[in-house]
A = this chain, B = another copy of it.
């Protein structure tokens, strides 16, 4: 059956709007000419509300992991005591990067599928009795679909320690509220290929004035990801120390335009509606969700499946309906599938996903599911038109 295209609903990379591709196709420019500084300043300042940052957002050529490494290697020195809140595979990656840079890493391990509560962090920091240099947290843990309570975790960090509070915002920034100053966030990083609707290849780093002091003093060996170089180049000439990924930055400019046209508060609201549609729909056809309503991210939803059906459902969605979802990662491999609903995603996309899941379950002998998830999702949409 002709379906005219493949549909990508993994929790990153996510679909790229045609107008963003169009912007990326602008003729190449040199980064030492007059045009590039204007482009970079435009993007860096228009991203400030999206990152809730008081300073222009720095742009690095690299993937999300390079953003995480930037957050680590500019703060953490050999034998520093750091706390990493691990709520899933990406918290685990943050801890691994801290270890790679020689820190004494204290992992606050949370059951996968749950958020870290402020009390858990407070108790952990108290019991630790160490002079902690930084607390690392994941805003949306992509591997499980929880959205950690960053505002509260930031408050606890500031009340209990002098540590910097460093947040991985890769799979949610651009879809959720955030205020770095008010929430006590010192470094907030993200990537281009999630809620920001771009192809992968850009890392974004927002910092506080307080973080800046630490970054300046940090002795860790680094060159390409040395934030002092990016800060200096931006301040002196609104440029980057190394050749920037120009086409992706043109794309980022168009993304800023799209977010402003929709209104950032509407973007945030849309993601809430998408999340609610997905969740009530899946519940209506009795697919168990990994994460509770209050802990769930508006950008990605993980679905638990009995025995081996996760693989089977994912495969049929791909083969019959051209829909790509994410699988489980690490210890959740084979136990869940994940639906990404962020960035360039509309309620119609959610209806498409739910319809396809209904038809898949129907083909796999689950009776009376056709239309059931769809109906509940439609109701949610209508309540939010």
Contact = CB atoms under 8 A, between A and B. Distances in A.
A244 B12 CA distance: 11
A100 B32 CA distance: 25
A223 B5 contact: no
A191 B14 CA distance: 25
Interface string A346-385: 0000000000000000000000000000000000000000
A246 B247 CA distance: 13
Contact of A6 (B8, B29, B100, B221): B29
Contacts of A12: 243
Given A25-B25, A247-B199, A63 B242 contact: yes
A200 interface: yes
A246 B69 contact: no
Contacts of A10: 30, 32-33
A224 B223 contact: no
B191 A243 contact: yes
A242 B8 contact: no
Contacts of A13: 28-31, 243, 246
Interface residues of A, number: 55
A27 B21 CA distance: 10
Contacts of A102: 221
Contacts of A246: 13, 193, 199-200
A35 to B, nearest CB: 8
What are the 7 closest A-B residue pairs judged by CB atoms, nearest first? A201-B245, A199-B247, A65-B242, A63-B243, A100-B223, A10-B30, A61-B63
Given A33-B324, A65-B243, 11 more contacts: A6-B29, A13-B28, A13-B31, A14-B28, A30-B324, A30-B326, A61-B62, A66-B224, A97-B223, A100-B221, A245-B245
